[in-house]
């Protein structure tokens, strides 16, 4: 059994008990039995080989066999601010950004935003991050930040003086004019389905944001976010 499972508690000892969705998946989907092996991670950039020692009604007890530090993260911080799309498209967005190595997703509150980043939505996004990390092999979880208003997001002070800030908009420069080759901290901004307003774009420029165009076709929010993140992370 080669599936990866997430422990919501830090793994510090020899025994780890999985509960909740992870235990349910092992017990009722994988039909796990004592003696089988799994890979565990707890979000600390470490993964663990473990053996199942007991299967209960709603929990699975495992024993740690080996510990490995495996870093599959980008060599720089990549934070994506996005005005969330509606419905299941949020799940797709989180899945792909996790696969691309994005460090943090910040839901943005914009003038034309259509999906409200409620507490329930944020919890679903966090669960989506775990599922995506299990699949793609990341041992650190992409963070889901608290929602930020557009005017706050664009004026946040950055720790690094060489940080790059890009906002997607049809009036921007072609991506070919952006220096992608230097691995430096990067922040991206993607507007809502109705687009960013002229005033929102105008406020971003003097705050240090480089406005970039993703082509002549109209992209959905999640497509634009993934396309821009991929342009940065896959160089």
Q: How many residues does the chain have?
A: 235
21-26-28 Cα angle (round to 5): 85
**Which CATH number is 10's domain given?**
2.40.240.20
Whole domain around residue 145: which residue ranges?
78-233
**Which CATH number is 205's domain given?**
3.40.1280.10
Same-domain check for residues 61 and 82: no
DSSP state of 176: G
Q: What is the mean pLDDT of residues 15-39?
A: 94
pLDDT, tens digit, 9 for 90 and up, residues 150-207: 999 999 877 667 789 999 999 999 988 887 777 889 999 999 999 999 999 999 999 9
Q: Furthest-apart CA pair in the chain: how many Å?
A: 61
Q: How many domains does the chain have?
A: 2
Same-domain check for residues 36 and 151: no
H helical segments located in 47-118: 89-99
Q: pTM for the full model?
A: 0.92
Q: What three-state secondary structure class fits 68?
A: strand
Same-domain check for residues 32 and 126: no
């Amino acid at each position: 059994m080669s599936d990866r499972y997430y422990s919501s508690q830090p793994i510090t000892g020899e025994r780890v008990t999985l509960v909740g969705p992870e235990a349910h998946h092992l017990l009722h989907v994988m039909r796990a039995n004592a003696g089988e092996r799994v890979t565990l991670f707890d979000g600390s950039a470490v993964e663990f080989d473990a053996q199942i020692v007991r299967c209960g009604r709603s929990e699975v007890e495992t024993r740690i066999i080996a510990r490995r530090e495996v870093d599959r993260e980008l060599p720089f911080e990549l934070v994506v601010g996005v005005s969330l799309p509606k419905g299941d498209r949020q799940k797709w967005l989180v899945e792909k950004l996790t696969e691309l190595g994005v460090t943090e997703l910040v839901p943005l509150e914009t003038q034309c935003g259509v999906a409200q980043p409620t507490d329930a939505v944020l919890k679903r996004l966090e669960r989506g991050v775990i599922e995506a990390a299990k699949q793609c092999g990341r041992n650190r979880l992409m963070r889901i930040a608290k929602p930020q208003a557009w005017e706050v997001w664009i004026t946040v002070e950055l720790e690094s003086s060489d940080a790059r800030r890009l906002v997607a908009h049809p009036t921007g420069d072609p991506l070919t004019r952006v220096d992608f080759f230097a691995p430096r901290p990067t922040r991206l901004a993607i507007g809502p389905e109705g687009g960013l307003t002229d005033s929102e774009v105008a406020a971003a420029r003097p705050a240090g944001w480089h406005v970039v165009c993703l082509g002549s076709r109209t992209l959905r929010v999640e497509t634009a976010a993934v396309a821009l993140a991929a342009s940065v992370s896959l160089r």
